[in-house]
A and B are shown apart, each in its own frame.
Chain A
């Protein structure tokens, strides 16, 4: 009964929160576009549909065509899918590993913490680009999934640090002490006592990881280490830059992918703050 009211209360504040509303609406719009967009065009992203080169947006090619005469709209909507995929999987893996390491280090403390901290430091300093090239060599082609996993595996240290700090402050609270005194095993304490109390925090961390993964992927794509067999918004930007889109006046090739990434990630951050206020009653008062 009490849980029910709490849920309703959350929902009530969630629906009234402007930041959350704006964020969710933008994300939803792009999700829909990524989902139905490919159905609206019969052009494959890499097909040379208009052999004479770049033309501005028109009723036939909504976002115009590239230097090679590829349909920008088709690339854009397929790229959106890749972007959400990278965010979800890359951000998901990053959050998961960060949670595991953070909880363990924070709860156990002592030597375990030291070891995990050293491990975190090592991951922070290994040449991730070189690792990416090694992975690439064994896979021959890089797919979006490779990129997701790679980003997930290299982006967890920050999350681990944050969660470790949170766990530190929780593990000395009374209810944890109580659980420990009742003889609960550490793992269970972490997952039944500490994690639920951090649920809202973990959701926020995931949203940040989601946005971070999208930006990371865009950077990898831009420096030429993106997927080699697919399209993404970052790759669109890379190609647009390589073929001088801005300087040669084909802005419709360069602007949409960057604008979409900015909107999506910005919307995620807005959601993040909005959710923060929903979960944290004190913040609502301000």
Chain B
């Protein structure tokens, strides 16, 4: 047995070495000096060896963006797939940033951008932009990036080229985009969502490398540099030579450690221990945490969080009785949204506007349409509406039958394990039953749920894919995605097939972003038809889950801040104020 003890201790020692050295092997030198030293005006900086420890006072610990080990640093791969929040936003940047709280575009790489005429968009880049390897960032890089979409259909932005006809680099800082019949609303979206990549490092890559390559050790132009990653973390280091320091200020944390927790429960524990500065996990009991002073949130009281996206109940319009607008409207009145807000979420969310638009876009809500066609929870009214449309309880089982006498038995679903949604659909089912509609809740596994969602075999289900945006078109493009196909992968899951609506949404897409009155008119028409037909039911706004600790960093954004920013590490939000949050932070000096 002695021998066993020895073997065990050897094994232990061995595996420690393994665990210690294994990540180190895959990790590149932090900042390799470029092979060809560019001409820089500053004196060459001697790069210190990559640090092995991160001082607490200089390090920001965040969580809630990654759910698996880092897999790709390719900025053209969607961020939620990559598990490397920050690739898009820290490393790669955009022409503009967008502030969803004020609705303003903020020039970023671009100094300005304007429609010269109806089909020409002119961009002026800032002077002195550089890539982190020291090369200058010029209009050639921007042109190159946009043209990648023309070349490779597998890139998500390739459909832009249906109405973009050409990009011309007039000189190093001036670009001219020419269009035919542009979708102005969508173009606005591209301006702050398409990351610009360095031509000199990408032009010799193959199609496969560009569309699907992992792009390890990414080189971009942004405020942070890739430092290292391991199974449960990504580490970023401030780019001391970032061009934006003079323009926007220097981000306060020298290091950012983005932690992947295996569950929200562990995230909650780490928040309680004060080991995480910014948690974007969905944590239970936020009211308790705020009251006891463990965390701060954007609002000091309910709903605590900013609204991030709209939870919509999609109704399968191809199935009976959801093919009947009268039934769908009655259902909207039957759902107990106040209980979803109070019970399922403990007031962490807000009830949604019937138009589905987030509070940041509420100026596009047509109040007159809402007053006439909006819905509120009212069981009696729902019953009356059902009766008026011919839905009555014939067999006396407490549930209404369809006008043709057939029984109604429907199922409302969400993925198993999504506990807040599970509680919510329970309430949807029970409140609908109270109004006499036989709906039961069910929680299939994610894969099965997703198949049913895209394949259109569900009865009714929740979805929240349209987040913060510069335009109401983003939401309506999701809700009324067309044409109707076999697989609806990205919207209109209930297969609401109404050409009139599709035309209205297409018309909105072509309204110039500057013409807010015309946008309002287009939205109003959409909202009137939507609330009359009720093809889906917007219910509540999911929050931008965000809890911050002030033990090491202060000056977090909140409702009272003069110029609040978005406090999140979620992918896709860095260019919507997330980075400004980092710039505004102040270290707590002990």
Contact = CB atoms under 8 A, between A and B. Distances in A.
Interface in A197-255: 224-225, 228-229, 239, 241-244, 247-249
A224 B346 CA distance: 23
Contact of A51 (B288, B343, B423, B426): B343
Determine which residue in B423, B426, B427 has the highest number of CB atoms from chain A within 10 A of its CB, and name it.
Answer: B423
How many interface residues does chain B have, given as a range?
20 to 34
A249 B268 CA distance: 13
Interface string B281-297: 00111001000000000
B445 A242 contact: no
Given A140-B444, A228-B416, A239-B419, A244 B285 contact: yes
Contacts of A243: 284-285, 419
B447 interface: yes
B444 A228 contact: yes
Contact of B447 (A137, A228, A239, A241): A137
Given A228-B442, A229-B442, A244-B265, A48 B447 contact: no
B544 interface: no
Contact of B448 (A68, A136, A248): A136
A249 B292 CA distance: 12
Nearest to B345: A68
How many interface residues does chain A have, given as a range?
20 to 34
Contact of B445 (A68, A133, A241, A247): A133
Given A51-B343, A53-B346, A248-B288, A224 B442 contact: no
A244 B283 contact: yes
Nearest to B417: A224
Given A46-B426, A133-B445, A248-B284, A224 B416 contact: yes
Contacts of B284: 67, 242-244, 248
Interface string B412-445: 0000110100010011000000000000001111
A106 B72 CA distance: 53
A242 B419 contact: yes
A69 interface: yes
B61 to A, nearest CB: 18
Contacts of A53: 346
Determine which residue in A137, A224, A225, A247 has the highest number of CB atoms from chain B within 10 A of its CB, and name it.
Answer: A247
B272 interface: yes
A250 to B, nearest CB: 9
Interface in A46-90: 46, 48, 51, 53, 67-69
A141 interface: yes
B344 interface: yes
A118 B416 CA distance: 35
Interface of B is mostly: helix
A244 B442 contact: no
B103 interface: no
B289 to A, nearest CB: 8
A48 B343 contact: yes
A67 B346 contact: yes
Interface in A28-59: 46, 48, 51, 53
A17 to B, nearest CB: 33
B384 to A, nearest CB: 26
A134 B72 CA distance: 29
A225 B443 CA distance: 11
A228 B344 contact: no
B292 to A, nearest CB: 10
B269 interface: yes
Interface in A257-275: none
Contacts of B346: 53, 67
B444 A141 contact: yes
B28 to A, nearest CB: 34
Nearest to B443: A228
A8 to B, nearest CB: 45
B264 interface: yes
Contact of B423 (A68, A133, A140): A68
Contacts of B288: 248-249
B342 interface: yes
A199 B417 CA distance: 42
A136 B444 contact: yes
A224 B427 CA distance: 21
Contacts of A137: 444-445, 447-448
B444 A247 contact: no
B445 A136 contact: yes
Interface string B219-250: 00000000000000000000000000000000
A140 B416 CA distance: 11
A234 to B, nearest CB: 13
A247 B269 contact: yes
Nearest to B440: A229
Contact of B343 (A68, A141, A228): A68
Contacts of A241: 263, 265
A69 to B, nearest CB: 7
Determine which residue in A51, A133, A239, A244 has the highest number of CB atoms from chain B within 10 A of its CB, and name it.
Answer: A244
Nearest to A137: B448
B447 A133 contact: yes
Contacts of A229: 442
A219 to B, nearest CB: 15
Interface in B281-316: 283-285, 288
A53 B265 CA distance: 19
Contacts of B444: 136-137, 140-141, 228
A152 to B, nearest CB: 21
Contact of B442 (A46, A133, A141, A249): A141
A248 B343 CA distance: 17
Contacts of B427: 48
Nearest to B451: A137
Nearest to A241: B265
A247 B268 contact: yes
A22 B260 CA distance: 45
Nearest to A229: B442
A66 B288 CA distance: 15
A140 B441 CA distance: 12
Contacts of B269: 247
B268 A68 contact: no
B422 to A, nearest CB: 9
Contacts of A249: 288
Interface in B325-368: 339, 342-344, 346
A248 B285 contact: yes
Contacts of A242: 263-265, 284, 419
A59 to B, nearest CB: 23
Contact of B285 (A67, A69, A141, A225): A67
B343 A244 contact: no
Interface in A108-155: 133, 136-137, 140-141
Nearest to B419: A242
Interface of A: 46, 48, 51, 53, 67-69, 133, 136-137, 140-141, 224-225, 228-229, 239, 241-244, 247-249
Interface of B: 263-265, 268-269, 272, 283-285, 288, 339, 342-344, 346, 416-417, 419, 423, 426-427, 442-445, 447-448
17 contacts: A48-B339, A48-B343, A51-B342, A51-B343, A67-B285, A68-B344, A133-B445, A137-B444, A140-B444, A224-B417, A228-B416, A228-B442, A239-B419, A241-B263, A243-B285, A243-B419, A247-B285
Q: What are the 10 A-B residue pairs with the smallest beta carbon separation, nearest first?
A: A224-B417, A243-B284, A248-B285, A244-B268, A244-B284, A228-B443, A137-B448, A242-B419, A241-B265, A247-B268
Given A68-B343, A141-B442, A224-B416, 5 more contacts: A48-B427, A51-B339, A140-B442, A239-B419, A242-B263
